[in-house]
Amino acid sequence: MKSFLTRQQQSLLLKKAKQNNGTLKAKEYQEIVRENSQTNKSVKNDDYSFSIVINKKSDGVYQVDIQGKHLSTNSINSLSFRQKLRYKSSIKNAFYEAFLKHKNILPITPQTISLTPIIYNPRSRDDDGTSLTLKMIRDNIVLLGFAHDDNRECLIQRESQEVISKEWKISIEIKPLQKKEAYQNVA
């Protein structure tokens, strides 16, 4: 069984118990755990920050680069509800800032589009390792006006590629599709 106590807390508890001939009062235990858990909270950093750059290429193709430490699906699932909201809203805020910064190059009318994500990680993940983060990104791409909705008829996500890199980044190519081409991809 894995202990929820840090090594520092464990060593302090052992030291205190040795001083008291192998016994430890509940109040002493609570005091040691409380003092050291407060220092752990100050070290823990769940500030999520992202920066987004949107570049327009030729023929309505866009390149969206999302800089910032994106979390895996397992990491997101282990977060508290508030931390999940903070993570999701930081992505949304970054897209809003990108919208304000690049609104003159964004498409005027939503289209049927395909997304091709390239995920840069310092270590390899499962194929579905970033699925929740990519879902949050897809939702915000719809909010920017690239597509009407994030269903398969309006937004087709190609298989993502993974690149092992020291840089945390997701690069997405957004390409408009003709209706005929889009329906072939859904089937």
Cα gap 7→32, rounded to integer Å? 12
Q: Please tell me whether residues 104 and 176 are part of one structural domain.
A: yes
Is 104 within a domain? Answer: yes
pLDDT of residue 87: 94
| Burial letters 79-109, b for 16+ CB under 10 A, else e | eeeeebeebbebbbebbeebbeebeeeebee
Contact 112, 182 (CB under 8 A): yes
pTM to 2 decimal places: 0.69
pLDDT of residue 43: 31
Q: Please tell me whether residues 37 and 90 are part of one structural domain.
A: no
pLDDT 10s digits, 68-122: 999 988 889 999 999 999 999 999 999 999 999 988 888 888 889 999 999 998 8
pLDDT of residue 184: 54
- Please state the rounded mean pLDDT for residues 117-136: 88
Is 2 within a domain? Answer: no
Greater confidence (125 vs 42) lies with 125
Contact 120, 167 (CB under 8 A): yes
Q: Return phi, psi of residue 120, to 5°.
A: -100, 120
Q: Please tell me whether residues 24 and 107 are part of one structural domain.
A: no
Q: Please tell me whether residues 91 and 140 are part of one structural domain.
A: yes
pLDDT value at 54 more than 90: yes
66, 157, 55, 67: which is closest to 106 by C-alpha? 55
Greater confidence (60 vs 172) lies with 172
Task: For tokens 């690149």, name the residue.
Answer: 163
Contact 183, 154 (CB under 8 A): no
Is 1 within a domain? Answer: no
Q: Please tell me whether residues 131 and 67 are part of one structural domain.
A: yes
pLDDT of residue 89: 92
Kindly indicate the confidence band of residue 42, based on its pLDDT and cuts at 50, 70 and 90.
very low
Specify the number of domains making up the chain. Answer: 2
How many CB atoms are closer than 10 A to CB 50?
A: 22
**23's tokens:** 């016994």
Q: What is the CATH number of the domain that holds 88?
A: 3.30.1330.70
Range of the domain at 36: 7-43
**11's tokens:** 């060593």
pLDDT 10s digits, 144-187: 889 988 888 888 989 889 999 999 999 999 999 876 554 455 44
Q: Please tell me whether residues 28 and 83 are part of one structural domain.
A: no
The string of DSSP codes covering 167-186 is S-EEEEEEEE--HHHHHHHH
Give me the amino acid identity at 19.
Answer: Q
- Report for 26-30, 31-35, 86-90: range of highest mean pLDDT: 86-90
Q: Please tell me whether residues 31 and 83 are part of one structural domain.
A: no
pLDDT of residue 135: 93
Residue 58 vs residues 20, 45, 55, 63, 183: alpha-carbon distances, Å: 75, 40, 10, 10, 23
Q: Please tell me whether residues 29 and 69 are part of one structural domain.
A: no
- Please state the rounded mean pLDDT for residues 16-22: 82
pLDDT of residue 11: 79
